[in-house]
Amino acid sequence: MTGPWMRQAMAKAGARWVGAGLLALAGGRAWGQEAPHTAAAMLHLVPADQRLALGGVILHARLEFQFAFVGLLAATVAALAVWAVQRVRLGRGQPPEGGLAFLSALVAAAPLLGLTIAAYNLLKVCMGLVNFRPTPDLVMLAPAFAEATLAVFLGLLTAAVAAVARGHLLMVQARGR
């Protein structure tokens, strides 16, 4: 257990590390030195034709990643369709047949699929870093990181939509009994 003085010292040390990291990102020369220029003067927006957008992440990804992205998006739409069909069935007094099982499977599988895609993509990036000289800068690595992040996002989105739809159907079903 730490006392208040220890927590304050740890907070100050953490703030120094974060401050040093931000200083390095802003162009600072060394630990604790002021940046020679302001960050706003050094940063500029990339021209519109060179920007990476969400559609560009999907379109410029490798074919297997494109299939996975489209599959996760299709699963999200399918979850909404299953929810709508099963909601109509419950409104007529009919029990949901396979819809709850499908939604449960999406809740379980979609995040794992997204994480698997992301891990595979990041593994390929790491292998590429080891085999590529000179070491590429962040601008070259950003699209791969965007693909990995998009895979996790789509997996979580699909699972969230399926979880909400499944929870709503179970609530409506319990209310109807």
Whether the CB-CB separation of 160 and 129 falls below 8 Å is answered with no
Residue 144's CB is within 10 A of a number of other CB atoms, namely: 20
89 shares its domain with 56: yes
Quick one: pLDDT at residue 25? 44
**Nearest Cα residue to 118 out of 164, 162, 57:** 57
Average pLDDT over residues 22-36: 46
77-105 tens-digit pLDDT: 999 999 999 989 888 888 777 889 999 99
Tokens representing residue 118 in the block: 């992301």
Q: How many domains does the chain have?
A: 2
76 plus 147 within the same structural domain: yes
Residues 95 and 30 in one domain: no
Backbone dihedral region for residue 115 (phi beyond 0: left; psi -120 to 50: alpha; all else: beta) = alpha
The structure's pTM equals: 0.71
Residue 34: domain span: 1-44
